[in-house]
Amino acid sequence: MNFIKRIPWFEVSLFLIILGIHLYASLADAYAFPNNWFKRDDAYYYFKVAQNISEGNGSTFDGINLTNGYHPLWMVICIPIFALARFDVILPLRVLLVVIAVIHAGTAILIYRLIKEHLSHAIAILAASFWAFNPYIHVTVYEMGLETPIAVLAVILLIYKLSQFEQRWRGQEVTKKQLALLALFAALAMFGRLDLVFLAVIVGVWIVFRGTPIRYLLPLDILIIFASITSSVLLRTDFNAYNSTYATSALEAMLIALVVKLIALYFFGAYEHPRANPIWKTIRQLFLALAVSTVVVTGVYLLVVQLGLGRNFPRSAFVLDFVISLILFSASRLTAYWFADPKRAQPESPLAQFKSKWKIWLTEGVVFYGVLGGLLAAYMLFNKLMFGTSSPVSGQIKRWWGSMANSAYERPASRWASFFGVDDGAFETWQPFSEFFWKLSEYLRPLIPGADKADDRYFAVLFAFVIAGLILIFVNKQRSVKTITMLGGIPLLAGSGIHILSYTATSYGGAKEWYWISQMILLTLIASLLLDLILRPLEKLKPARYMLIVAALFYTVISANRLWIMVEYIMPHGYFPPDRPLMEVIAYIEENTLPGEVIGMTGGGNVGYLIKDRTIVNMDGLINSYEYFHALQDGEAPVYLREHGMTVIFANPRLLAIPPYFGQFAPYLERYSSYGGKDLLYLLEEPKY
pLDDT the model gives residue 309? 72
What's the DSSP call for residue 66? Answer: B
d(CA 654, CA 670): 14
Amino acid at 518: S
Of the residues 498, 524, 550, the one at which a domain ends: 524
What mean pLDDT is predicted for residues 82-98? 97
In a domain? residue 406: yes
pLDDT in tens, 412-439: 999 999 999 999 888 999 999 999 999 9
Contact status, residue 155 vs residue 189, Cβ threshold 8 Å: yes
d(CA 11, CA 109): 6
- 554 phi, psi to nearest 5 deg: -65, -40
- Cα–Cα distance list, 662 to 281, 545, 658 (Å): 58, 64, 5
**Burial class, 579, CB count within 10 angstroms (exposed 0-12 / middle 13-18 / buried 19+):** exposed
In a domain? residue 367: no
Q: Count up the domains in the chain and report the number.
A: 4
pLDDT at 50 > cutoff 90: yes
- Measured from the Cβ of residue 594, the count of other Cβ atoms closer than 10 Å reads 11
Same structural domain for residues 555 and 517? Answer: no
Contact status, residue 519 vs residue 500, Cβ threshold 8 Å: yes
**Confidence class of residue 360 from pLDDT cuts 50, 70 and 90?**
very high
Same structural domain for residues 227 and 98? Answer: no
pLDDT the model gives residue 2? 60
Same structural domain for residues 547 and 511? Answer: no
SS3 state at 434: helix
In a domain? residue 486: yes
Q: What is the extent of the structural domain holding 248?
A: 214-339
d(CA 489, CA 482): 10
pLDDT the model gives residue 134? 97
pLDDT the model gives residue 408? 85
**Confidence class of residue 5 from pLDDT cuts 50, 70 and 90?**
low
- Measured from the Cβ of residue 276, the count of other Cβ atoms closer than 10 Å reads 17
pLDDT the model gives residue 675? 94
- Cα–Cα distance list, 53 to 60, 77, 79, 614 (Å): 7, 12, 7, 18
**Burial class, 88, CB count within 10 angstroms (exposed 0-12 / middle 13-18 / buried 19+):** exposed
Tell which residue, 194, 533, 141, has the closest CA to residue 376. 194
Question: Is omega for the bond preceding 432 within 30 degrees of 0, making it cis?
Answer: yes
**Confidence class of residue 3 from pLDDT cuts 50, 70 and 90?**
low
Largest CA-CA distance found in the chain, in angstroms, rounded? 85
pTM of the model: 0.95
Supply the DSSP string of 162-209, one letter for each residue: HHHHHHHTTTSPPPHHHHHHHHHHHHHHHHHSGGGHHHHHHHHHHHHT
pLDDT the model gives residue 424? 85
Contact status, residue 329 vs residue 270, Cβ threshold 8 Å: yes
- 671 phi, psi to nearest 5 deg: -75, 140
Tell which residue, 111, 107, 391, 419, has the closest CA to residue 247. 419
In a domain? residue 197: no
pLDDT the model gives residue 617? 97
Where helices occur in 27-147 by DSSP H, the ranges are 32, 41-54, 72-81, 91-118, 121-133, 135-137
Same structural domain for residues 492 and 573? Answer: no
pLDDT at 80 > cutoff 80: yes
Same structural domain for residues 401 and 296? Answer: no
Supply the DSSP string of 504-569, one letter for each residue: HTTT-----GGG-HHHHHHHHHHHHHHHHHHHHHHHTSHHHHHHHHHHHHHHHHHHHHHHHHHHHH
What mean pLDDT is predicted for residues 383-410? 92
**Confidence class of residue 451 from pLDDT cuts 50, 70 and 90?**
confident
Tell which residue, 410, 461, 422, has the closest CA to residue 440. 461
- Cα–Cα distance list, 374 to 28, 182, 480 (Å): 44, 14, 36
d(CA 538, CA 526): 19
Contact status, residue 645 vs residue 639, Cβ threshold 8 Å: no
What mean pLDDT is predicted for residues 119-123? 95
Contact status, residue 628 vs residue 646, Cβ threshold 8 Å: no
Contact status, residue 189 vs residue 139, Cβ threshold 8 Å: no
Tell which residue, 222, 682, 238, has the closest CA to residue 498. 222
In a domain? residue 252: yes
SS3 state at 600: strand
Contact status, residue 620 vs residue 409, Cβ threshold 8 Å: yes
Same structural domain for residues 570 and 606? Answer: no
d(CA 312, CA 237): 12
d(CA 504, CA 672): 41
CB-based contacts of 7, cutoff 8 Å, min separation 6: none
SS3 state at 393: helix
pLDDT the model gives residue 313? 80
Same structural domain for residues 518 and 552? Answer: no
pLDDT the model gives residue 310? 67
Contact status, residue 183 vs residue 155, Cβ threshold 8 Å: no
pLDDT in tens, 519-577: 999 999 999 999 999 999 988 888 899 999 999 999 999 999 999 999 999 999 999 99
pLDDT at 583 > cutoff 90: yes
pLDDT in tens, 204-231: 999 999 999 999 999 999 999 999 999 9
pLDDT the model gives residue 221? 97
pLDDT in tens, 270-316: 999 898 888 999 999 999 999 999 999 999 998 888 877 767 788 89
pLDDT in tens, 621-660: 999 999 999 999 999 999 999 999 999 999 999 999 999 9
Average pLDDT taken over every residue of the chain: 94
Side-chain half-sphere CA neighbours of 343 within 13 A: 0
Higher pLDDT, 233 or 4: 233
Same structural domain for residues 555 and 599? Answer: no
Same structural domain for residues 396 and 507? Answer: yes
What mean pLDDT is predicted for residues 605-629? 96
d(CA 110, CA 8): 13
Contact status, residue 639 vs residue 671, Cβ threshold 8 Å: no
Same structural domain for residues 454 and 566? Answer: no
In a domain? residue 219: yes
Contact status, residue 568 vs residue 21, Cβ threshold 8 Å: no
pLDDT the model gives residue 4? 61
Amino acid at 584: E
d(CA 560, CA 199): 31
Same structural domain for residues 19 and 110? Answer: yes
**Burial class, 35, CB count within 10 angstroms (exposed 0-12 / middle 13-18 / buried 19+):** middle
Same structural domain for residues 411 and 506? Answer: yes
pLDDT at 518 > cutoff 60: yes
d(CA 193, CA 3): 40
What mean pLDDT is predicted for residues 376-398? 96
In a domain? residue 403: yes
In a domain? residue 274: yes
